[in-house]
Amino acid sequence: MPKVGYSEKERVQIREALIAVGLDLMTKQGIQHTTVEQIYKKVGISRTFFYSFFPNKEELIVEALYLQQPQLIEYARKLMNDPAISWRDKVKKFLHSLCHGEKYGIAVLTMEEQRLIFKRLSRDSYKVFRDKQLSLLHAILNSFEIEADTEQLKLVLNLTLLIVITCRALPENLPLLVSEASDGTAEFQMEALVDYLEKLKCKPIL
């Protein structure tokens, strides 16, 4: 028999468990292949009870991405502390990890997933997501000893997402691009972005 009543503390714990389990599944099998049913069954609650915490799967995905943010910052710091890798290669390795998220235990949205999720987010939720996204990028850049102002942050965010989207969209969602050249395309984009980041690193904000 499922438990009928839960204390506020228990509800908080269940919500945290749903987010953590969701993130774990998404990093292992991808966001698209992770279902609400898999998540609530692993936590041990019903479908109806799940929807008392999240109105839809998309809201949980966003919360899981928030939970992942400290892990990404720690990963950047770990790379930065590796004396065996050059600074450029550290940044490129981080970008490469984002492009191939599942191989590195990182949940990354595909182009289609982005469309589906942001159709369901309220204006306020979208603003919170964007603010957290820029704060995350600022922390990651700081880990690589890069200082950037707000406009530079927005540019770096767009360039980074373009690299990740291109890598993950070929060939299904970008059929006009040559899929055989996807690795070379990503490498070129990464080199160009790292060139820009290196200039920011060498030119502190006054």
* Residue 193 to residue 187: CA distance in whole angstroms: 10
* Residue 144 to residue 168: CA distance in whole angstroms: 24
pLDDT digits (tens, 9 = 90+) for 10-28: 999 999 999 999 999 999 8
* Residue 46 to residue 4: CA distance in whole angstroms: 11
pLDDT digits (tens, 9 = 90+) for 140-183: 999 999 999 999 999 999 999 999 988 888 767 778 888 888 88
- Residue pair 64/72 in contact (Cβ under 8 Å)? The answer is no
Whole-model pTM? 0.88
Encode burial over 85-100: b for 16+ CB neighbours within 10 A, e otherwise.
eebeebbbbbbbbbbe
pLDDT digits (tens, 9 = 90+) for 45-94: 999 999 999 998 989 999 999 999 999 999 999 999 999 999 999 999 99
Q: Give domain limits for the chain.
A: 57-202
- Residue pair 72/133 in contact (Cβ under 8 Å)? The answer is no
What is the H or E stretch that residue 42 is in?
Answer: helix 36-43
